[in-house]
Amino acid sequence: MKRLALLLLAALPCACSSPGAQEAAPGTSLIEGFSMAEVNAGPSRWRLNSKTARMEEKEGLIYFTAPDIKFYDGKTLSSEITALDGKLLMEKKEAELTGSVRVDARRDGMKLFTSKLFFSTARNKIWTGEPVTIHKERTVINGRGFTANPDLSEIEILHQETRLSK
């Protein structure tokens, strides 16, 4: 009985320690302050930063907490996407962002809000089948499902309703 109690007491500090102190399973990497960018011949088109990341090498997935993706037109910031969580399918180079997703287009001040958003590097598009709300100055557009460039310069909204706010 004493041996069991000692084992339980030894295990308690591990159970109460911070999430960052956990050891990763084989084939899994835990990263704090994660950052990655798409870089070709010139400046990067986008950069993703997240509070933490968990890379599942066998699955080809990276899971993020508090992802923040910045898109660039040359060296100029064109838009920014934030969310609570996300994941990146490394082989397809596609991301899924979930929870309080927000897109801020810097050029014209447009803002988009949704619960889930997908991004494809190959297509350079963002999209969702979920409800979306877009604000631009006094105009509010609601819809369900949309596809756009990451800077919201070209938008296709399905099931759209537009109104002017006060």
The domain containing residue 148 runs over which residues?
A: 26-164
Q: Is residue 2 part of a domain?
A: no
Q: Is residue 6 part of a domain?
A: no
The domain total for the chain is 1
Q: Is the pLDDT of residue 1 over 60?
A: no
Question: Which pTM value belongs to this model?
Answer: 0.78
pLDDT digits (tens, 9 = 90+) for 49-92: 999 999 898 899 999 999 999 999 888 999 999 999 999 998 88
Residue ranges in the chain assigned as alpha helix (H): 2-16
Residue 112: Cβ within 10 Å count: 25
pLDDT digits (tens, 9 = 90+) for 130-144: 999 999 998 999 999
Q: Is residue 70 part of a domain?
A: yes
- CATH, residue 144: 2.60.450.10
Q: Is residue 5 part of a domain?
A: no
Q: Is residue 144 part of a domain?
A: yes
For all residues of the chain together, what is the average pLDDT? 82
Check if the beta carbon of residue 101 is closer than 8 Å to that of residue 114: yes
Q: Is residue 15 part of a domain?
A: no
Q: Is residue 69 part of a domain?
A: yes
Q: What is the pLDDT of residue 25?
A: 63
Q: Is residue 10 part of a domain?
A: no
Q: What is the 3-state secondary structure (H, E, C) of 87-122?
A: EEECCCCEEEEEEEEEEEECCCCCEEEEEEEEEECC
Q: What is the pLDDT of residue 24?
A: 55
